[in-house]
Structure 1
Amino acid sequence: MQHNEKADSPQLYSWEASSEKDTIGFAEALAKLAVPGTVLAVDGDLGAGKTRFAQAFAAAIGVRGIVNSPTYTIIKEYEGEHLPFYHMDVYRLTLPEADELGLDEYFHSEGVTLVEWASLIEPILPQERMSIQIVTTGPDSRRIICQPMGQPYESWCRQLEMLEKVDEGEKPTV
């Protein structure tokens, strides 16, 4: 029975980042694969590095200037050299509020959408996305766990040579 459950749910992949530089490197590598309509659903505890990950990703797609957390503005739009970047922080939203704001329009746009605290709006996230959980493993080290939802994201995990993960204990929440 456990084997069938695993077959029905997307495979988990992990990336060990021993430093902030490694986390930035992962974000940059992922950004190279981004295409219009990419959705990254990012979760992690306070201080895990969600915004730092977003900043590194944005810089890698050519966003100039400062990218900071849209905690109070909910969403910030940036023009990148390669793609527009839509950075959301839905921590302060309820699901009905998020739905009312029409956030889903960004998910089907010509840019890349990165949603911090994405598990809070899981029902309105697109079916195809990359769910990312950033887990603090030390002062500067992180484990980045990805759950690709859809074939393009699955192939990205393989291209990035991420380790297939069996332990369900740290499964992304979205």
Structure 2
Amino acid sequence: MFKIKTNDAEQTEKIGAQLAPILEPNDVLLLDGNLGAGKTTFTKGLAKGLGIKRYVKSPTFTIIHEYHEGRMPLYHMDVYRLEDGGGDDLGWDEYFFGGGVSVIEWSQYIRDYLPDDYLKLKIARNDDDDDQRILTFEPQGQHYEELVAQLKEVLE
């Protein structure tokens, strides 16, 4: 596990951009946090770091946005609307093993479809400063433990 504090949205976005170069095809990131915590802000930075020029917004109503113009595809998912089910026919494995990076907001709603290994990022507001965020990276599996170690080196 690795924690880092950011002072504003720009720093949160920058960390996403710094993570992007060390990601590999088929990496899966789970983003947890309350509404407005910074999940999409982080994903915007990740997209920039992958070389994606298009505007990134939360796919709340479409569930999945695909971006193919970067170093590798980015599959940005917001599965909040699947809280009561309905994700059976979305072809999750085509995204998770489709050669891109999958970023999933509200992943608890598709827990049964997730791969065994992934990187979970919890984003929380700092109670003392509403602009600050605490980012907690929780790797699941050896690959993601190595990825977090690389990220720590980049950020230090």
Do Structure 1 and Structure 2 share a fold, with TM-score over 0.5? yes
From 147, 150, 159, the counterpart of 2:141: 150
Give 1:98's aligned residue. Answer: 87
Distance 2:139 2:32 in 1: 14
Question: Which structure has the bigger radius of gyration?
Answer: 1
Specify every segment of 5 or more residues in structure 1 that has no aligned partner in the other structure, as ranges. Answer: 1-11, 163-174
Q: Across the two proteins, how many residue pairs are aligned to each other?
A: 151
| Counterpart-to-counterpart distance in 2, 1:74 and 1:148 | 24
TM-score scaled by length of structure 1:
0.81
Secondary structure (helix, strand or coil) at the match of 2:59 reads coil
- CA deviations 1:8-60 (Å, max 9, x no partner) are xxxx2211112222212211111111111011011100110111111111111
Q: Which amino acid aligns with 2:14?
A: G
Alignment correspondent of 1:20 = 9
Q: Is the 8 A contact 1:58 1:80 kept in 2?
A: no
2:108 corresponds to which of 119, 123, 135:
119
> 1: CA distance between counterparts of 2:151 and 2:99?
23
Change (3 A) 1:40 1:95: farther
Supply the RMSD in Å over aligned alpha carbons.
Answer: 1.5
* Contact preservation (8 Å) 2:23, 2:147: no
Map residues 18-57 of structure 1 onto 2, 5 A cutoff: 18-57=7-46
Distance 1:94 1:41 in 2: 16
Asked if the contact 1:77/1:84 (under 8 Å) is kept, the reply is: yes
Identify which of 24, 36, 51 aligns with 1:62.
Answer: 51
Mapped partners of 1:52, 1:125: distance in 2 = 23
Q: 1:146 to 1:18 in 2, by over 3 A?
A: same
Between the aligned partners of 1:155 and 1:80, the Cα distance in structure 2 is 27
Matching residue's letter, 2:149:
R
User: Do the aligned residues in 2 keep the contact of 1:41 with 1:114 (CA within 8 Å)?
Assistant: yes
Which residue identity lines up with residue 157 of structure 1 in the other structure? V
**Secondary structure of the corresponding residue to residue 99 of structure 1:** coil
Whole-Å separation in 2 of the counterparts to 1:129 and 1:80: 23
Q: Deviations over 1:52-106 (max 9, x none)?
A: 1111111110111211111010101111331111110000014741232222320
8 Å CA contact retained: 1:95, 1:121: no
Q: Return structure 1 stretches of 4+ with deviation > 4 angstroms.
A: none
For residues 151-170 of structure 1, the aligned pairs below 5 Å read 151-161=142-152
User: Against the structure 1 CA distance between its residues 90 and 15, is the aligned structure 2 distance closer, same or farther, given a 3 Å change threshold?
Assistant: same
- Which runs of 5 or more residues in structure 2 are unaligned? none
